[in-house]
Chain A
Amino acid sequence: MGMTMTQKILAAHAGLDHVSAGQLIEADLDLVLGNDVTAPVAIHEMDKMNTKTVFDKDKIALVPDHFTPNKDIKSAEHCKCVRNFAKENDITNYFEIGEMGIEHALLPEKGLVVAGDVVIGADSHTCTYGALGAFSTGVGSTDMAAGMATGKAWFKVPSAIKFVLTGKPSKWVSGKDIILHIIGMIGVDGALYKSMEFVGDGIANLTMDDRFSMANMAIEAGAKNGIFPVDEQTIAYMKEHSTKTFATYEADADAEYEEVYTIDLSTLKSTVAFPHLPENTKTIDEVGEVVIDQVVIGSCTNGRIEDLRIAAKVLEGRKVAKGMRLIVFPATQAVYLQAMEEGLLATFIKAGGVVSTPTCGPCLGGHMGILAAGERAVATTNRNFVGRMGHVDSEVYLASPAVAAASAVTGKISGPEELGL
């Protein structure tokens, strides 16, 4: 029996010729990630360990991004704990706010992850790096602590679902719409414990930023990881951002998949996930009249340069609806700077929006854009659970940057077509 792409990467990191679904393995880690919420718990766990040193100071990434710039004293203490740990252990990849960004946008941009890597991160959206052809998955703080100390983690080798993507998406349809469509189709536990492997000639029509937002939301279908094949675009991205050696893996022709779905990208429409689950999807023509109070554009899902370009294209020369609160948060300092140089930030501000420093803040209801009872937001983020962005009686509608920007203008959930675009 052949192996899936994920299985091949895991086998190589476990020193095995072959692995199969369900097998328990111990794999070598290329990178261990933590943030200001999860790393302090991991550091506390490490304190209890007999081993006090990290396995490799170059293979740990610490990114304080959730409650930064520090939102209160307790958060400041957490960040201080991470900063001190980084200093004591001489961690190469600790990022202070001036050089940081939202972790899952930052790590690929800094070239810390490449194809063929095995990465664990104490953050569920660690699966983002599957866009580069790496195996990456979210874990908790204890696994992070064990990973930092030993450079290894145990895994149950996952089975897989194959998504064959064909055709070219229409003008305003992005990776976000594709992944929301898929989650709507298979449900929030549709890929529980499994890999989501994306293949097909349609992938050539998806930019790296499309792929990052798709792999990012694999966890919203319950998946262990989401992964894309390595093509010319992936190689160009890695060459631009990284000096690390990469390894490309392809699934065997006889690899076993539990299910296979074929999706013609040209048939997809802009898609919105209604409260309170990412699987509650409707296409833009089915949404009806949903009046909103706030629009959030950014996050590890959709805060990259291309996302901001799309939003700016929709907002150029327009104003947000009266009373609308538009919050744009570029995912990294580099994206922020580039957006500034391209004039995108000016477009957002002239349209009546605000631009925030990179932070996870509003996405998880941490700070910088919390909703009151009864308020509704359209967000390019990844979760719309009860109370996710604030009050338990508030609502989050997940959408692409194009839909979010158009909705900011009309004051209700809208596609860019409604603006004549």
Chain B
Amino acid sequence: MKACGTVHKYGDNVDTDVIIPARYLNSSDPAELAKKCMEDIDADFVNRVKPGDIMVANKNFGCGSSREHAPIAIKASGISCVIAETFARIFYRNAINIGLPIIECPEAAKEIEAGDEVEIDFDNGMIYDKTKGTQYKGQAFPAFMQKIIKAEGLINYINQK
């Protein structure tokens, strides 16, 4: 499995309230949530994002509320993978459970910049910054997590078993 796209970059402690503000949680429709994704810290994100793009952030990405609407909004906006120095634990679980690939890699999170073209190989956890010509070794997904992601989430995975 691979992902490839342009990077959207954010800082520390991106919380789920800014990923998808509570005022939009009266909907749980992925397409509707995607239209509001990142609105409170990057209002133009929804206009710039293209299918396959990659989100990169620093530490504690996805902190705060347990709303699964946050990874759902990111995934539905077209993002193919989120790279961060660290993820908040509930977001980490939720992302895997809904089939949004995420990778912890402090070096990549620090050095990759907005607009870089990045390719990720999920089988070995390698991250290639094609703009800078650099590469990083992130955490590879264990086989069962890859299966969950391929099945588009935990529920489908459980059903397939």
Asked whether A146 lies within 8 Å of B154 as measured between CB atoms, the reply is: yes
Closest chain B residue, CB of each to CB of A390: B23
User: Residue among B67, B69, B98, B153 with the most chain A CB within 10 A?
Assistant: B67
CA A146 to CA B69, docked complex, whole Å: 17
Asked whether B89 lies within 8 Å of A193 as measured between CB atoms, the reply is: yes
Chain B residues with CB under 8 Å of A50's CB are: 158-159
* B59 CB within 8 Å of chain A: yes
Asked whether A142 lies within 8 Å of B94 as measured between CB atoms, the reply is: yes
Which of B18, B25, B40, B90 is the one whose CB lies under 8 Å from A138?
B90
Asked whether B25 lies within 8 Å of A386 as measured between CB atoms, the reply is: no
Asked whether B17 lies within 8 Å of A383 as measured between CB atoms, the reply is: yes
Which residues, 155 to 181 on A, are CB-close (under 8 Å) to B? none
Chain A residues with CB under 8 Å of B41's CB are: 386
User: Residue among B13, B21, B155 with the most chain A CB within 10 A?
Assistant: B155
Asked whether B93 lies within 8 Å of A140 as measured between CB atoms, the reply is: yes
Q: Mark B1-36, 1 if CB is under 8 A from A, else 0.
A: 000000000000101011001110111100000000
CA A349 to CA B118, docked complex, whole Å: 58
Asked whether A364 lies within 8 Å of B27 as measured between CB atoms, the reply is: no
Asked whether B13 lies within 8 Å of A38 as measured between CB atoms, the reply is: no
Number of interface residues of A (CB under 8 A): 45
Query: Given that A385-B18, A386-B40 are contacting pairs, would A189 and B154 also be in contact in the complex, using a CB cutoff of 8 Å?
Result: no
CA A365 to CA B39, docked complex, whole Å: 15
CA A37 to CA B70, docked complex, whole Å: 12
* A192 CB within 8 Å of chain B: yes
Closest chain B residue, CB of each to CB of A74: B26
Q: How near does chain A come to B5, taking the closest CB pair, in angstroms?
A: 25
Q: Mark A88-115, 1 if CB is under 8 A from B, else 0.
A: 0000000000000000000000000000
Q: Mark A26-56, 1 if CB is under 8 A from B, else 0.
A: 0000000000011011001100111000000
Asked whether B154 lies within 8 Å of A75 as measured between CB atoms, the reply is: no
Chain B residues with CB under 8 Å of A122's CB are: 66, 68
Asked whether A277 lies within 8 Å of B13 as measured between CB atoms, the reply is: yes
Majority DSSP secondary structure for residues of A touching B: loop
* B140 CB within 8 Å of chain A: no
Question: Can you list the 10 inter-chain pairs with the closest CB atoms, starting with the nearest?
Answer: A140-B94, A74-B26, A140-B68, A142-B97, A189-B60, A124-B66, A364-B22, A387-B40, A141-B68, A138-B66
User: Residue among A40, A44, A74, A146 with the most chain B CB within 10 A?
Assistant: A74
CA A260 to CA B126, docked complex, whole Å: 36
CA A142 to CA B75, docked complex, whole Å: 15
* B106 CB within 8 Å of chain A: no
Which residues, 61 to 86 on B, are CB-close (under 8 Å) to A? 63-69, 71-72, 86
* A71 CB within 8 Å of chain B: yes
Q: Mark B31-61, 1 if CB is under 8 A from A, else 0.
A: 0000000001100000000000000000110
List 16 additional contacts besides A143-B154, A385-B17; criterion CB under 8 Å: A41-B68, A67-B26, A78-B26, A126-B66, A139-B66, A139-B94, A140-B68, A140-B98, A143-B94, A143-B97, A222-B60, A222-B89, A365-B22, A386-B15, A386-B18, A387-B21
Which of A124, A143, A365 is the one whose CB lies under 8 Å from B23?
A365
Closest chain A residue, CB of each to CB of B43: A392
CA A12 to CA B153, docked complex, whole Å: 29
Asked whether B86 lies within 8 Å of A192 as measured between CB atoms, the reply is: yes
* A258 CB within 8 Å of chain B: no
Which residues, 358 to 407 on A, are CB-close (under 8 Å) to B? 364-366, 383, 385-388, 392
Chain B residues with CB under 8 Å of A188's CB are: 13, 60, 63
Q: How near does chain A come to B38, taking the closest CB pair, in angstroms?
A: 11
Chain B residues with CB under 8 Å of A49's CB are: 155, 158-159
CA A375 to CA B159, docked complex, whole Å: 49
* A72 CB within 8 Å of chain B: yes
Query: Given that A40-B28, A124-B65, A387-B40 are contacting pairs, would A45 and B94 also be in contact in the complex, using a CB cutoff of 8 Å?
Result: no
Q: How near does chain A come to B12, taking the closest CB pair, in angstroms?
A: 8
Q: How near does chain A come to B59, taking the closest CB pair, in angstroms?
A: 6
Chain B residues with CB under 8 Å of A143's CB are: 93-94, 97, 154
Q: How near does chain B come to A177, taking the closest CB pair, in angstroms?
A: 21
* B156 CB within 8 Å of chain A: yes
Q: How near does chain B come to A228, taking the closest CB pair, in angstroms?
A: 20
* A269 CB within 8 Å of chain B: no
CA A142 to CA B96, docked complex, whole Å: 10
* A66 CB within 8 Å of chain B: yes
Asked whether A142 lies within 8 Å of B64 as measured between CB atoms, the reply is: no
Q: What are 19 A-B pairs with beta-carbon distances under 8 A? A: A38-B68, A41-B69, A49-B155, A50-B158, A78-B26, A140-B67, A140-B68, A140-B94, A142-B94, A143-B154, A188-B13, A189-B59, A189-B60, A192-B86, A365-B21, A383-B17, A385-B15, A386-B18, A387-B18
Q: How near does chain B come to A99, taking the closest CB pair, in angstroms?
A: 23
Asked whether A123 lies within 8 Å of B66 as measured between CB atoms, the reply is: yes
Chain A residues with CB under 8 Å of B23's CB are: 365-366
* A145 CB within 8 Å of chain B: yes
CA A123 to CA B15, docked complex, whole Å: 14
Q: How near does chain B come to A76, taking the closest CB pair, in angstroms?
A: 9
Chain A residues with CB under 8 Å of B88's CB are: 189, 192, 222
Q: How near does chain B come to A243, taking the closest CB pair, in angstroms?
A: 29
Chain A residues with CB under 8 Å of B65's CB are: 123-124, 364, 383
